Chain A
Amino acid sequence: MNTIKKLLIALLINLACLVPIYADSTEHDVDSRSLNVMVSKLMSWYGSLIANSETVLFQEITDDWDSYRTQYPTDISQIQILKTDLTPIAEKNHYQFKVSSLIHHEGGQKIIDDNFTFNIDLDGLPKITAISFNNNDAVSISKNTSDEVFNAIYYKAREFSYAWLAYMDGVEAIQTVINVADWSGVPYEINIGSTNINQPVKETLVTRKQFLHEGEHNLRLIDLISLDAKTNTYLLDLTLNWEGVNVKNQMVIAKINQKIELKIMADGRWQVISIKEKHLLPDLTPWQDLLC
């Protein structure tokens, strides 16, 4: 009888080894479409708090939060996001986005911890439903050693980029943030290996769908470079990762570099001039860049 018990225990252990595979697949995570919209909204939130002499327009923050926003200093020159944390909360389709930021203002510096609650609606669009605030007046901050300036244009570049990613992933409702209506005729060229696609944006996006049919874009690197100060033209250099399936439902991964040339118009609109995209070797292995 003891032998049978031992054998049954061995059998159970043996079966248990297979369980974690299924446990992993049930892990709950936010869809990148919603995440990109959420982050774009947060970029608008912080960017629009910064006082700027130049005209930098952000997507509108609803009046509901006016009283909340009076808690920030009025003369903010820079906001440096120090830490973020996104976690699902008990209520279905609700997420908590904690943001810890260092606010530079005329009176000095302070760290503010905001806690945004997002509700993702049936279309996958997140909406801010609650915010809580923790203001740390007395903080000692080590000097920022990077040259990066966390001003309004820094946030505008990110607001635009995250919205563009969401749009590429099929979130039509975000198109007003990037003024897709003004993009008619804008050339969008893609090089995927030996395949070259060179059409206006809307047509290129349709052709691109054959290769990157359904999946998620995640922003990895962003750089906004001034091309010509006189004409206010810039190059937005983005590196994205993409994971999903092609039109034949085969799994695909991509590391994408996009160079978006744009002009900031007198009224603050970002007018896209051209987009060039190249698919790079994804970061897979430590030896892939090794030369002998």
Chain B
Amino acid sequence: MLNKILTILLITLLSNVNIAKSKVVNLPILSGVGGEFTAVDSNGNTIEFNSYAGNVVVLAFGYTSCADICPFTLGYLKQLYNKLSSEEQQKVRMLFVTVDPEYDTPEHLKAFLGHFNEDFIGISGSKEQTDYIVSLYQAEYNQLSALGIPTENIRRVQPKLFEDESEAEEDTATLFSHSVSIYLVDKDGFTRSVEYTGTPKDEFSAKIKQLINE
């Protein structure tokens, strides 16, 4: 009798654990956040955002000359991405949209993102295209100084590569402030959550998996 009760108790406890583990988080569509845009990816191809339809997208803003939050965010996204199985990774696109498309060419973005994960996709384009993407996600960025700063004075993950060494010596970049939010977009292109590097990675990856399985 005792064994039977213990078995029932164990099953009940385990089922509750399963309920907790498989808890579906409420991820409503955030109306008006995100949408369709055209830009250039880090392979130099013109892309439409809807070409990522069918994949879950994680999108962040930044720029390659950023010395603080961008490397930190990308390090976080690398760890987040590593929490997914390779099968899940194939269903996710990690997009890094530069707010400095003038400096961040597709090649430079590709080299920069390669330090974190070669699957990560850089998004650039014209300033108008960048401003449009920023406005779609209701993000913000501001140029911090009118004059460029010699890049040798900026701590950077990836210096820009030049054919001519003198060009590298004269290289300057502009500094920006920008939104730190990370947007989670579902397979239909709807933004479903706004996160940041303070979100526990297990919590964030669970949301990504939930959207993959929708």
| Chain A residues near B16 (CB-CB < 8 A) | 14, 17-18
Q: How far is the CA of A254 from the CA of B191 in the complex (A)?
A: 12
Q: Which of A34-42, A265-273, A278-286 contacts B (4 or more CB under 8 A)?
A: A278-286
Inter-subunit contact A193/B33 (CB<8 Å)? yes
Q: Is B84 an interface residue (CB 8 A)?
A: no
Tell me how far the C-beta of B51 lies from the nearest C-beta in chain A, rounded to whole angstroms. Answer: 14
**A8 part of interface (Cβ distance < 8 Å):** yes
Q: Mark B96-108, 1 if CB is under 8 A from A, else 0.
A: 0000000000000
A284 contacts which chain B residues (CB < 8 A)?
30, 194
Q: Which of B172-208 contact A (CB under 8 A)?
A: 177-181, 190, 194, 196, 198
Q: In the assembly, what is the distance between CA of A243 and CA of B5, in Å?
A: 45
B169 sits at the interface (CB 8 A) = no
Q: Is A250 an interface residue (CB 8 A)?
A: yes
A7, B1: Cα distance in complex, Å? 12
If the complex has contacts A17-B16, A281-B138, are A287 and B31 also in contact, measured as CB distance less than 8 A? no
- The answer to whether B12 and A193 touch across the interface, beta carbons within 8 angstroms, is no
A282 to B34, CA, bound (A): 12
How many A-B residue pairs lie within 8 Å, measured between CB atoms? 104
CB under 8 Å from chain B, chain A span 188-213: 191-195, 211-212
Interface contact B32-A14, CB-CB below 8 Å? no
Task: Knowing A4-B5, A14-B12, A194-B37 are in contact, say whether A287-B28 is a contact too (CB < 8 A).
Answer: no
| Residue in A closest to B195 when the chains form the complex, CB atoms | A285
Residues of the A chain whose Cβ atoms lie less than 8 Å from the Cβ of B35: 192-195
Which residue of B136, B138, B179 is within 8 Å of A291 (Cβ)?
B179
Interface centre among A254, A289, A290, A292 (most CB of B within 10 A): A292
Residues in chain A near residue B36, CB distance under 8 A: 193-194
Instruction: Let me know if B29 is at the binding interface, CB within 8 A.
Output: yes
Complex Cα spacing A242 to B32, Å: 12
Most buried by B among A14, A243, A281: A281
CA distance A242 to B30 in the complex (A): 10
Task: Give Cα distance in the complex from A11 to B28, angstroms.
Answer: 34
B1, closest chain A residue (CB): A4
Q: Is the CB of A287 within 8 A of B5?
A: no
A82 within 8 A of partner (CB): no
CB neighbours (8 Å) of B31 from chain A are 192-193, 211-212, 242, 252-254, 256, 279, 282
**Contact mask A1-45 → B, CB, 8 Å, 1/0?**
001100110110011011000000000000000000000000000
A193 to nearest B CB, angstroms?
Answer: 3
Q: Would A287 and B180 count as touching, CB distance under 8 A?
A: yes
Q: Is the CB of B69 within 8 A of A252?
A: no
The answer to whether A193 touches B9 (Cβ under 8 A) is: no
Contact B179 A290 (CB under 8 A): yes
Q: Does B13 contact A (CB under 8 A)?
A: yes
Q: How far is the CA of A282 from the CA of B32 in the complex (A)?
A: 9
* Shortest Cβ gap from B2 to chain A (Å): 6
Selected contact of B32 from candidates A4, A10, A192, CB within 8 Å:
A192
Contact A15 B12 (CB under 8 A): yes
> How far apart sit A193 and B132, CA to CA, in the bound complex (Å)?
10
CA gap between A11 and B12 in the complex, in Å: 8
A242 to B31, CA, bound (A): 9
Known interface pairs A193-B136, A194-B36, A290-B179; A246-B13 also in contact (CB < 8 Å): no
1/0 per position for B109-141, CB-CB distance to A under 8 A? 000000000000000000000000000111011
> In the complex, A143 Cα to B178 Cα: how many Å?
43
Q: Out of A254, A280, A287, which one reaches B198, CB within 8 Å?
A: A287
Q: Is B170 engaged at the interface, CB distance under 8 Å to the other chain?
A: no
Would you call A71 an interface residue if the criterion is a C-beta within 8 Å of the partner chain's C-beta atoms? no
Asked if A231 is at the interface (CB within 8 A of a chain B CB), the reply is no
- Pick from B13, B68, B181: contact of A287, CB below 8 A: B181
Interface residues of B (CB under 8 A from A): 1-2, 5-6, 8-9, 12-13, 16, 19, 26-37, 68-69, 136-138, 140-142, 177-181, 190, 194, 196, 198
23 cross-chain CB contacts under 8 A? A3-B2, A11-B9, A17-B16, A193-B31, A193-B35, A194-B37, A242-B31, A243-B28, A246-B29, A251-B29, A254-B31, A254-B32, A279-B32, A279-B33, A280-B32, A281-B137, A282-B31, A285-B194, A285-B196, A290-B179, A291-B140, A291-B142, A291-B178
Residues of A within 8 A of B (CB): 3-4, 7-8, 10-11, 14-15, 17-18, 191-195, 211-212, 242-243, 246, 250-256, 278-282, 284-285, 287-292
Q: A14-B12, A281-B137 are in contact. List 17 more A-B contacts (CB 8 A).
A: A4-B1, A192-B31, A193-B31, A194-B35, A211-B31, A242-B31, A253-B29, A281-B33, A281-B194, A284-B194, A287-B181, A289-B140, A289-B179, A290-B196, A291-B177, A292-B177, A292-B180
